Amino acid sequence: MKRSSLPRFAWLAAAAALLTMGLKALAYLLTGSIGLLSDGLESLVNLAGALMAATMLTVAARPADDDHPHGHDKAEYFSSGVEGTLIVIAALSIAAAAIARLLHPRPLEQVGLGLAISVGASLVNLAVALVLLRAGKRHDSITLEAGAHHLFTDVWTSVGVVIGVGAVALTGWHWLDPVVALAVAANIVRTGVGILRRSVLGLMDTALSAGDLELLRRAMAPYLTEGIQYHALRTRQSGSRRFMSLHVLVPGAWTVYQGHRLLERLEADIRSAIPNISVLTHLESLEDPASWEDQALDRSGDPPVPTPLRGV
């Protein structure tokens, strides 16, 4: 599946958000439960997040151009960042409504019908979350994964609300309803902060995961037994795309052809080991002291004096 088709999953999430928002609003109107209201407000956030996701996935699927030679994959981090922010705002709104109800409790009505409607809405969210998570992992899309985790949070939120409202109906303790809503808000904040953290790390060009780095080490191991060395390894991830660069050191007596063939083979092995990765290699001589002076991101000291070409 091409990445240009990924926005359809976001539109699926938007449709689910509209449906569940309507169902949960009906459940709130029937019961008057602030817990069910908080559940419905989260569906509103789901809708906003899905619309943002559809937009950013469309941008991320654009091919590289002169202004963005590394592609547009980072657009996904903006989407997940916005969704994380919306999640936190929704949680604060839920907490405010819950505190107001805690101070002024009121009895619930038609609890059975309201809970049945809420459970139906949760099943819709669960089905869509499973679809988004599968697609997100298959295509390395942080946007779809964030949307899936948000919907899973929504499902657990609904479970908590149903338990809380049911407990109110059984015990008559009306304060349980806003207390459950506050617990829901705390859980939502935790999810939102986690999504925001992952988005920030992506925008900061965080290195590849430990799993990917282990795959890289395994791909490089056979070359080390041939007397080849490497250093100045740098990696980063941009949305679904991975980038890495490294300096490969070979005997100075090698010809350009030998060095080039080695790099072609090495890069192919890395691309086979790690999906969707762009590899940039730099060939250096093992015997040249200058080869060991450029391992840091910014080369320190004065540049070495170039050796005159023979015959000049």
- Asked if residue 270 has pLDDT above 50, the reply is yes
Q: How large is the average pLDDT for residues 12-19?
A: 86
Instruction: State the architecture of 210-292 in CATH terms.
Output: 2-Layer Sandwich (3.30)
From 57-66, 98-107, 224-233, the region with the lowest mean pLDDT: 98-107
pLDDT of residue 25: 79
Q: Could you please report the per-residue DSSP string of 196-215?
A: HHHHHHHHTTPPPPHHHHHH
pLDDT of residue 265: 92
- Asked if residue 308 has pLDDT above 60, the reply is no
At the top level of CATH, the class of 3-203 is: mainly alpha
Q: pTM, whole model, 2 decimals? A: 0.57
Q: How far apart are CA 48 and CA 64, in angstroms?
A: 28
Listed in order, the ranges of the chain carrying CATH 3.30.70.1350 are 210-292
Choose among 125, 106, 120: nearest CA to 35: 106
Listed in order, the ranges of the chain carrying CATH 1.20.1510.10 are 3-203
Residue range 175-210, pLDDT digits in tens: 777 787 787 778 778 877 877 887 777 777 778 888
pLDDT of residue 88: 81
Q: How far apart are CA 17 and CA 50, in angstroms?
A: 8
pLDDT category of residue 156 using cuts at 50, 70 and 90: confident
Structure-token pair, residue 112: 């059975």
- Asked if residue 310 has pLDDT above 50, the reply is no
pLDDT of residue 8: 85
Q: How far apart are CA 272 and CA 276, in angstroms?
A: 9
- Asked if residue 37 has pLDDT above 60, the reply is yes
SS3 (DSSP) at 73: coil
Q: What does residue 284 show for φ and ψ, rounded to 5 degrees?
A: -135, 160
